[in-house]
Amino acid sequence: MAVAWMAPLLAALLSWLVCRRLVRAGGRLMDLPNERSLHEAPVPKGGGIGILAGVVVALVLLPSLPPPLHWTVWLALGVGAFSFLDDLYHLSPLVRFLVQGALAWVAVALGVWPAEMPLPGMHWSWPVALGMAFAWLTLVWMTNLYNFMDGMDGFAGGMAVIGFGALGMMGWMAGAGAYALLCVSVVAANLGFLWFNFPPARLFMGDVGSAALGFLAAGLMLWADRSGYFSLWSGLLAFSPFIVDATVTLLRRLLRGERVWQAHRTHCYQRLARSGWGHRKTVLWEYGLMLLCALSAVWGVTLPVSLQWLLLLVWGMVYAVLMLWVERRMPFDPFTPGPSPGGRGGVP
């Protein structure tokens, strides 16, 4: 057990060392700016390699993880390895979707799916096929939305620190020590990366990190729900700054008839950065939102069902107000010019 407690420290150290090497290497792993980017100069990418290296350390030092959860983490690493190929060769959206879907199906087949409707007080045992389909969609969507939201200095790494930190806290409160240590190790690995990614970024995460973290977040939430640690809605609330922005933006683009698989600059965080806030101010305010959501999720698991529903209702209203405010500041138009964001971020 003493060795297991070293997992977060070693994960952070290895991640930092790998990312430091990537910053110096440059070469083929360079992210060149284009008309859809928020950054203005070439920046090395692939920092997700350091994050995943830290996660591997956690797997080695945490042998007490349940086998389905253990293999789900390895599947997330597989998503990262495949996404690294995408970073290098820019694979087609169809190929990415097929591989992600196949790996998500393996996780579902391992038992990572909710047996009941994952809402406060809902104890309806839905059909197995429905639960498995829901889990598959959650895994695939979280994989892609995390990738979509990795477009600003310090953004995706910060969400990982706060979101996985909340999952770890809720796991610890439920008495799941190994689960909590795994989540804390993911937090630590992202802190090693954030050393180089906080505005102005010297290193980007790349698809290798963002896609893997999205898959891992979904897998950990689904496993926690299945195991009775906490309900899925709590984990989704912790990651809701990413989930809400990405989902609402996708739906709006679908209604406008846009090609949703193409890069763009219409997420709320992108519009804030382009409106004159820049990377540092935008990401710090986003950190505040993330932290409030995470604390609400941790607090919410202790509340009666009626107050849990009230908590979700309040957050729904908060997000509606925030999106209206962003809309007034910079309308939803990918072709609307805006001031320079004043920093460098990842490709949206």
The full set of domain ranges for the chain reads: 4-329
Residue-by-residue pLDDT tens, the chain, 348 positions: 667 889 999 999 999 999 999 998 765 566 655 545 555 567 888 999 999 999 999 999 998 899 999 999 999 999 999 999 988 888 999 999 999 999 999 999 999 999 998 999 888 889 999 999 999 999 999 999 999 999 899 999 999 999 999 999 999 999 999 999 999 999 999 999 999 999 999 999 999 999 999 999 999 999 999 999 999 999 999 999 999 999 999 999 888 888 877 777 889 999 998 888 988 999 999 999 999 999 999 999 999 999 999 999 999 999 999 999 999 888 876 444 444 333 333 333
- Distance in angstroms (rounded) separating the CA atoms of residues 117 and 221: 14
pLDDT of residue 339: 40
pLDDT of residue 345: 36
Tokens 């799916």 correspond to what residue? 113
pLDDT of residue 132: 97
Whether residue 42 has a cis bond before it, omega within 30° of 0: no
| pTM score, whole prediction | 0.91
* Strands in the chain per DSSP E: 30-31, 43-44
pLDDT of residue 40: 57
pLDDT of residue 151: 87
Identify the three-state secondary structure at position 259. coil
pLDDT of residue 117: 87
pLDDT of residue 342: 38
pLDDT of residue 340: 39
- Distance in angstroms (rounded) separating the CA atoms of residues 33 and 37: 6
Identify the three-state secondary structure at position 279. helix
* Strands in 32-187 per DSSP E: 43-44
**152 backbone φψ class: left, alpha, beta (φ>0; ψ -120 to 50):** beta
Q: Long-range contacts: 131-136, Cβ < 8 Å, 24+?
A: 132/108, 135/104, 135/107, 135/108, 135/222, 136/101, 136/104, 136/105, 136/108
The 10 Å CB-count burial string (b at 16+, else e) for 96-134 is beebbeebbbebbebbbbbeebbebeeeeeeeeeebbeb
Task: Find the angle CA(148)-CA(139)-CA(92) to the nearest 5 degrees.
Answer: 50
Residue 151: phi and psi, rounded to 5, are -140, 15
- Distance in angstroms (rounded) separating the CA atoms of residues 123 and 125: 6
